[in-house]
Chain A
Amino acid sequence: MFKKVALLLLVLVLVGAFVACAPPVPAEIKIGVNAELTGGIPVVGASCKNAAEMAVKEVNDAGGLEVGGRKYKVTLLIEDNEDKAESAAAAAQKLNTAGVLVHIGANASRNAIPASTVCEDAKLPMISPWSTNPKTTAGKKYVFRACFIDDFQGVVAAKFAINELKANTASVLYDVASEYNKGIAEIFKKTFEEAGKQVVAFETYTTGDKDFSAQLTKIRASGADVLFLPNYYSEVPLQVQQAHKLGYTDTIFGSDSWGNLELIDLCGADCEGLFFTTHYAPDIATPKAQKFIADYEAAYGKTPDDVAALTYDAFGLAFQAIQAAGKIDRQAVRDALASITKYEGVTGTMEFRGTGDPVKSAVIIQIKNGKFTYYTSAAP
């Protein structure tokens, strides 16, 4: 009898203690990162983690994030999604259970799409830094991204060909078996032709092909002013070299899938002077970007890539939205994110117009002396 009473008292005391300890408002803001730390693209995960830690450290060093007149410390929870769709969903679930206010990640679209479904169901605001596939945000209320979508690159490339390269006719060679390449190529063609210009050769191949001589001979015979190659960096060098061997001498340009330094190793002098559209250029001139690059180099000893810059911007967007919301509440943060009209980021100025895809500018890079060099910016 005595034992039972003692146990009951103990339980009551413990419950009381918990109730008494639970603070009315949290003293900190938790932000979750869902990144590809291991798996096929560990470089992407590492850049994401570095930039996330840097963004959070900057805020905490300044005394924390001021929300509704009170300063909050920001804590970072980082989960590895192993570059697998199912692990990305599990990581998002884990971060949701841990009570994060905003979910940053995942980066590759194959991981960001499953994570976005989890976040949407949990009504947890999510920002993917690097996923350019339209499906990540399509039809979702709580999912945002810091980069532009594939379609936009097709538009930018077409405008670049018309305005900067002064092209009247264009040719395209793209991988018909890959969603990314096909999407950009089709948008490019549509935009280019709507401007009254002509796509005189629209040629395809399938993933794994190494000989493009038939298509490139056709392209050369078509007399097109420019050649657009929205293909991956591992295939572009072959296409450029074969084009040159077949006597093609006009301008060749591509999309953000070129943006890996391996392109230059494989391509050598053949890629000199060529252009591609992408998210960001390390030598871009805005003071904010310069400060970010200098800080990143000081902290990690290397130049930040596009993933690092976009992750930093994803945090910037999250902080701005939390401050605008004025309270620690997921719904309020989502609403504030959706109504951001101006955010000055490292990768350019962004705004959201009713969808999770920001309206922002792209950057055109030229390959000069074996380096990716900033050429110009393209407004949306």
Chain B
Amino acid sequence: MRFIIQQTLNALQLGSVYALIALGYTMVYGILRMINFAHGDIFMVSTYLGFFVASFLLGWALHLPMAVIFVLTLLLAMFGTSLLAVFIERVAYKPLRQAPRISAVITALGVGLFLENFTLATIGPEPRILPQVVPVINFNIGGVAVSSIQILILAISALVMFILDTIVRRTMTGMAMRAISFDKTVVPLMGIPVDRIISITFALGSSMAAVGGVLYGIAYMMDPYMGIRIGWWAFISAVVGGIGNIRGAMIGGYILGFVEIFVAAFLPSTYRDFVAFALLLLLLVFKPTGILGMPVVEQKV
């Protein structure tokens, strides 16, 4: 039983990160019908941004309290990453909006490669850890090990996902996003600034990735290629949850976290990815649009 509880905690931690990144994939797909393959690398850049902000704030002579440094790191990383994503959208994706969909996908892959190699060339290949902005305290509750970092990851992820969900469901901007996602041809006629809403979508999606990035940097380690593997798992989370659906992406992220951890927990770990993806394929065979996805009806114009 302790073993299962421990593995559940491990799965929730990993699932939170997948869910946060999956949101960016699903939001961009929802609004543009485009898969932003650079998103995993945007996540990677956000971790490095967090690293530099935290190092700078800790090195600063002001001796800010840890909690302030942590919140500032999180906010500045979110802000910087949003700017980057909006810039990428304007420069690389907007000119291709009328081009065949495959062009935008290839451009996104190119942007991802650019971000990886740019980081590699300017910062270097050696792995780094985020300076300690959160004190590590290990608790032992009835034989189950829980660390302060684990609690922080679970709490912050749940909080920002709740905020995002509220924005999308309860605000005018959120309504505009859902409207564009519903019908791209009619909505601009109603006076909704499509370009601005698309920018806001990119900003929101990438700031979720930045929350994931900073939390990931605290719990794990960063290197220029980290975005590839995590990006894939998060993308698949979005697909499993039903791409285009925000709550679906959250659920999908946690499902992938659970599958990854529990397959390794009960089967030889060498089979982990193989079994995990076989299970997901099976799910998609029976539910091709994902758990919360709606079948896409192509509109005839």
List chain A positions with a Cβ less than 8 A from chain B. Answer: 176, 203-206, 208-211, 213-215, 217-218, 221, 234, 237-238, 244-247, 262, 266
**Smallest distance from the beta carbon of B237 to chain A beta carbons, Å?**
14
- Determine whether B126 belongs to the interface, using a CB cutoff of 8 Å to chain A: yes
Q: How many residue pairs bridge A and B at CB < 8 Å?
A: 75
Mark interface residues in B216-256 (1 if CB within 8 Å of A CB, else 0).
Answer: 10001101011011100000000000000000000000000
With A217-B3, A217-B10, A245-B149 as contacts: A238 and B221 at CB distance below 8 Å: yes
Chain B residues within an 8 Å CB radius of A266: 127-129, 221
Q: Which 5 A-B pairs rank lowest in CB-CB distance, beginning with the nearest?
A: A247-B145, A214-B264, A213-B10, A210-B220, A214-B261
B265 touches A214 (CB 8 A): yes
Of the candidates A176, A203, A208, the one whose C-beta lies within 8 Å of that of B229 is A208
- A214: which of B136, B230, B260 is its contact (CB, 8 Å)? B260
What residue of chain B has the Cβ atom nearest to residue A218's Cβ?
Answer: B265
Contacts of A234 in B (CB 8 A): 126-127, 223
Of all chain B residues, the one with the shortest Cβ separation from A202 is B268
**Residue pair A204, B127 in contact (C-beta under 8 Å):** no
The answer to the question of B166 belonging to the interface, with a C-beta cut-off of 8 Å to chain A, is: no
Q: Which residues of B contact A209 (CB under 8 A)?
A: 229
State whether B220 touches A203 (Cβ < 8 A).
no
User: Min CB distance, A248 to chain B, in Å?
Assistant: 9
Closest chain B CB from A17 CB (angstroms): 55
Provide the bound-state CA to CA distance between A237 and B130, in Å: 13
Cross-chain contact B13 with A213 (CB below 8 angstroms): yes
Complex CA gap A218/B7 in Å reads: 9
> In the bound complex, do residue A206 and residue B147 qualify as a contact, i.e. CB atoms below 8 Å apart?
no
| Pairwise interchain contact B262-A214, C-beta atoms closer than 8 A | yes
7 additional A-B pairs beyond A204-B269, A245-B136, beta carbons within 8 Å, are A208-B229, A210-B221, A213-B14, A214-B11, A214-B264, A214-B265, A266-B127
Residues of B close to A218: CB separation below 8 A: 264-265, 269
Number of interface residues of B (CB under 8 A): 38
Q: In this assembly, does B138 line the interface, its C-beta being within 8 Å of a C-beta of chain A?
A: yes
* Cβ–Cβ < 8 Å partners of A204 in chain B: 268-270
A171 CB to closest chain B CB (Å) equals: 12
Q: List, in ascending order, chain A residues with CB within 8 A of B229's CB.
A: 208-209
| Contact across chains for B126 and A214 when beta carbons are under 8 A apart | no
**Considering the chains assembled together, what is the distance between the CA atoms of A377 and B250 in angstroms?**
53
> Could you pull out 12 A-B pairs where Cβ atoms are within 8 angstroms?
A204-B268, A208-B229, A210-B230, A211-B10, A214-B10, A214-B260, A214-B269, A217-B265, A234-B126, A234-B127, A244-B138, A266-B128
| Contact (Cβ within 8 A) A238 B220 | yes
The answer to whether B138 touches A245, judged by C-beta atoms less than 8 angstroms apart, is yes
Residues in B with CB closer than 8 Å to A217 are 3, 6-7, 10, 265
In the complex, what distance in Å separates the CA atom of A203 from the CA atom of B216?
23
Task: Chain B residues near A176: list those with CB within 8 A.
Answer: 270
With both beta carbons as reference points, the residue of chain B lying nearest to A206 in the complex is identified as B273
CA distance A214 to B265 in the complex (A): 5
CA distance in complex: A214, B268 (Å)? 11
CB distance from A182 to the nearest CB of B (A): 10
Distance between B147 CB and nearest chain A CB, rounded to angstroms? 5
> Are A262 and B10 in touch, CB under 8 angstroms?
no
Collect the chain A residues with CB atoms within 8 Å of residue B262's CB: 214
- Judge if B122 is at the interface, Cβ distance under 8 Å: no
Residue of B nearest to A244 (CB): B138
Q: Is the CB of B140 within 8 A of A247?
A: yes
Task: Determine the residue in chain A with the shortest Cβ distance to B148.
Answer: A245
Contact with A along B264-292 (1 / 0, CB 8 A): 11001110110000000000000000000
Residues of B contacting A245 in the complex (Cβ-Cβ under 8 angstroms)? 136, 138, 145, 147, 149-150
Q: Tell me which residues across on chain A come within 8 A of B7, comparing CB atoms.
A: 213-214, 217
Please name all residues of chain A whose beta carbon is closer than 8 Å to the beta carbon of B228 when the two chains form the complex. Answer: 208
Q: How far is the CB of B234 from chain A (nearest CB, A)?
A: 13
Residues of B within 8 A of A205 (CB): 269
Give Cα A231 to B7, complex, Å.
23
When the two chains form their complex, are residues A246 and B6 in contact, meaning their CB atoms are under 8 A apart? yes
Complex Cα–Cα for A245 and B9 (A): 12
